[in-house]
Structure 1
Amino acid sequence: MVFTTIFFSLGCSPREEENEEISLMTMPDLVMTKILDDVDFKDIIKLRKVCRGLRNSIDHLRPYKLTGLNLDFRPSRIHIILSTHNGSEIELDYAKYGDHCVISTRGNENHPKLIRNTDYMEVFENDISGLLRNQKSLLKCVKIQGWPWNAFYSPLTDGVVVEEDSDSDSDSKMEKWKKWILEYFGTVGIRSPSLEYSGVRLFYQLEKMNKGDVLTPAVIDRFFNSLARILQNLPTRIQMTELNIRLLKESHLANLPIDFSHMDTLIINRIHLKSPTSDERFRSTKRTMNVVTKLKNWERIRQLDVVGFKVSVPIRNFLAHKSIMELSVPSISVDDIVAMKEVSQCLGSELQ
């Protein structure tokens, strides 16, 4: 980006002009708005990293006009895909590196950056808070997915898979995979005096350092608490037409300040924990999702899928509002069966 500045001086000596320092922070809002209008979303992400003052100015002047948000969280990593109004996407990675945080942005020429002595989830919370603060338009789709295992490559690998076999082409598969990792992390990797790893070495370092991390109920609670704080600090409640969320318990959904008045589809899945200890602890808790009927404007949701949880609320409470529904119920009453039959007759089809 090249900025050309023209000054008209009245009663000001040339020496005074030469000594005057020019920066983005001293420019009028009109000039800053024009600059921000001419840069894409990736450049906005870069500018926000310059300093706190510039970040606050950008957040105040430039709504990001996001259309989609995908949050993929794992034991030691959070992967984000942001979709913008012009059809472009940008991917952000926040990974734990010991007591530090590694940030990687896919889709530009940036190399991964190391933020020392900072928790990766804190960096994620600060960044996403700024990106969503001025989000005024309706989001089309929001996905919040939790997975029990670590993966330090993007889930969008276009079929590049590492397989442990003895086929003759296994070496070529590995080389193709390594090449993709290099492209993803950058050919140099982390630029730091004490950390000069290539992309592949960075990948193996992350795998090695976080090998023992598993997705526990405490980690999941911490992520959803962080997400709740992000949404609570927004000027208005976030709105979307579709929410696809993978969680552990109903309070994770209940504590998120979301405006359901425009939501058409709500899909809820349960996270299956990998740790036996975590699974045992989870089995001792109630796996219900009755909170759905307590959400404000939940009646507006046309399609409701609840997978991995039981709903003990009478089925007839849903039939008047939902045209597509998938629920698991512990039992069904005669009144529910009669209500389902009446609805199917009105729709001209049979419920299954």
Structure 2
Amino acid sequence: MLCLKWFNTPLIDKTEKLTVNDQPEGPIMDMPDLVMRKIMENVDFITMLKLRKVCHAFRNFIDVTKLDNELTEVNIKVTPSSIYATIYFTSASRKSVNSNYIAYGNNCLLKVKEGRNEKAKFMKNQDFVEAFFNDFGFILRNQSKLLKTITIEESSYNWYLQDSYDRDLMNRVKITYSIHGCCTCTRPLRNFIEAHEHLEKINKTYTLQQTADKFYGRFADILRSRKSPISIQILDVRIMRLSYLLNVAQHIDREQLRGIVIRKTPEYSDREKGKQPTLNEIVELDVFDYIQVLSIRGFKVTVPLETFLHIPDLRVAISTITIEDVLLIKENMMTSPTVKSRRVYYDRMKDSDTLYNTLGHANSDHNKISWYFKLPGLDQILQISRECHETCFSFTWTKTSCIYNDAVVH
């Protein structure tokens, strides 16, 4: 049975070593709940992962009691053959944990680092996406406190950082195992370049869409299994497919989600298609009416701009902007001074020759032209700017002291 004396945790390190006759008897799971909680509070994340795999009793205790892990932020990077995750905590003694899951043919190379503690492991016949969710699934499933940010970024290219794997472990594995039924060269990998080339060679069959489909499928399954929606403040994603976002966002607490940041993952086929995909379905999400921040890059929207004007901090792209759109946003901001900013990208502007007649005199400012409109009774000025080298209109608030003395203010 697993006993307390077998642990190497900060709590044990601070405890005076007992004599043989004074060692506690019986399994640790027979200890009172409060004692177990105190022990787990002093266990680092790497040890926590190990404990969940010791027995069902440990796994159930860790999962069911939803221990306060002080987790605040999760950052995940997904490539065709790897997942790199960093999680951040509020605790001064536990600031962050880096976990790297790299495919090695049909196997997985794992490396976890927390402070000075490192763990490297070869997981035979283990898919790297499944390995990731076997470890992180319990966090997503049991997280009860608000997460400030979850960032998920996809990359179409494989990249293997030097500190994301253990080269000594890879050399031992390289000698012992064959990849895809073929024996590999037994000469040790001497440096980072050789290791990178070796990983690229054995993982060449992996594609981002294959990995991303599996990743978001498992992600959505775990969120769906929760008893209540997960609480996230900011969801920041770089994605290939809109469906990935929709499947995840529907399981987020709409009253806690403050902002969504969406970027398109570049693909080889993007240049051939020559146009950006649309993201109109986002307006159908339950969380859409509650968010305060929405930034969309690499996707376009074709629904009317007024659909988005309840969002204080907005960044979108459309195909064609009209003078009516500009006036609509101007009027919305003049009547809602708490709105932070709006930024609208476009391919072309309809009736651009009426812009100056409609908005009045424009002020030249470096690489843009600006119009200033003062809010009556307040030291707030709405600045509408049109970029000269970028097809973009920006709407922001500024103060009188921040503009030129000779600027024309309407």
TM-score with structure 2 setting the length: 0.66
**Aligned pair partner of 1:194 in 172, 176, 190:** 176
2:278 pairs with 1:288:
yes
TM superposition shift of 1:221: 2.1
AA aligned opposite 2:257: M
Distance change in 2, residues 1:342/1:326 (3 Å): same
Residue matched to 2:365: none
- Residue 261 of structure 1 aligns to which amino acid in structure 2? E
- Specify which structure has the bigger relative contact order, considering alpha-carbon pairs within 8 angstroms and separated by 6 or more residues: 1
Name the structure 2 match of 1:177.
none
- Counterpart of 1:229 (choices 213, 221, 234) is 221
Which of 234, 238, 261 aligns to 1:242? It is 234
Q: 2:133 aligns with which of 125, 132, 137?
A: 125
Q: CA deviation at 1:237?
A: 1.1
**CA offsets 1:265-320 (integer angstroms, 9 cap, x no match):** 2110011124x5x876xx4998111122112132222221101111111101111x
Q: Report the Cα distance in structure 1 between the residues aligned to 2:149 and 2:100, rounded to whole angstroms.
A: 20
Structure 1 residues 64, 287: closer, same or farther in 2, change over 3 A? same
Paired with 1:96 and 1:266, the residues of 2 have a C-alpha distance of 30
Partner residue of 1:267 out of 254, 261, 264: 261
Helix, strand or coil at the partner of 1:123: helix
Cα deviation 1:1-54 (Å, max 9, x = unaligned)? 2768xxxxxxxxx9xxx9x97333443433321211222334323323434442
Structure 1's 29 and 203: CA in aligned 2 closer, same or farther, altered over 3 A? farther
Q: Does 1:56 align with 2:60?
A: yes
AA in 1 matched with 2:280: N
Q: Determine if contact 2:111/2:166 at 8 Å carries over to the other structure.
A: no
Quickly say closer, same or farther: Cα 1:266–1:184, change in 2 above 3 A.
closer
Query: How many angstroms apart in 1 are the aligned matches of 2:267 and 2:261?
Result: 19
Instruction: Give 1:247's aligned amino acid.
Output: I
Corresponding residue of 2:300: 310
1:100 aligns with 2:107: yes
Aligned to 1:84: 89
TM-score by length of 1: 0.76
CA 1:86/1:223 → structure 2, altered by over 3 Å: closer, same or farther?
same
Aligned counterpart in structure 1 of residue 155 of structure 2, from 144, 147, 155: 147
| 1:262 alignment partner AA | Q
Structure 2 partner of 1:163: none
Structure whose residues are more often strand by fraction:
2
CA distance in 2 between partners of 1:110 and 1:143 (Å): 24
CA distance in 2, matches of 1:121, 1:239: 23
How far off is 1:245 after superposition? 0.5
State the Cα deviation string for residues 189-243 of structure 1 (Å, max 9, x = none): 2576926977857655423312453323x43222211211121122221122211
Amino acid at match of 1:75: P
Question: Who is 2:340 aligned against?
Answer: none
Q: Is 1:215 the equivalent of 2:232?
A: no
Deviation at 1:71, TM superposition (A): 1.1
**Alignment match of 2:316 (pick from 324, 327, 330):** 327
Residues 110 and 338 of structure 1: is their aligned pair in 2 closer, same or farther, counting only changes over 3 Å? closer
Q: CA separation in 1, counterparts of 2:110 and 2:275?
A: 35
Q: Deviations over 1:58-99 (max 9, x none)?
A: 222324231001111000001111111215000111111111
By how many angstroms is 1:186 displaced? 4.6
Q: Which moved more, 1:325-334 or 1:222-231?
A: 325-334
Q: How many residue pairs were aligned?
A: 308
3-state SS, counterpart of residue 151 of structure 2: strand
Distance, in Å, in 2 between the alignment partners of 1:279 and 1:75 is: 20
Letter in 1 for 2:58: L
The DSSP-based 3-state class of the residue aligned with 1:263 is: coil
What's the RMSD between the two structures over aligned residues?
3.3
- Report the Cα offset of residue 335 of structure 1: 5.1
- Distance in 2 separating the partners of 1:141 and 1:335: 36
The equivalent residue for 1:339 is: 328
Q: Deviations over 1:86-113 (max 9, x none)?
A: 1500011111111111111023433421
Query: Partner of 1:34 in structure 2?
Result: 38
Counterpart code for 1:288: T
Distance 1:237 1:285, change over 3 A: farther
Whether the aligned pair in 2 keeps the contact of 1:65 and 1:135 (CA below 8 Å) is no
Return 118-127 or 137-146, whichever deviates more: 118-127
Gaps of 5+ in 1: 5-13, 154-180
Measured in 2, the distance between the counterparts of 1:55 and 1:328 equals 46
Q: Is the 8 A contact 2:70 2:91 kept in 1?
A: no
Query: Match of 2:218, as an amino acid?
Result: S
Percentage of identical aligned residues? 30
Separation (CA, whole Å) in 2 of partners of 1:202 and 1:35: 40
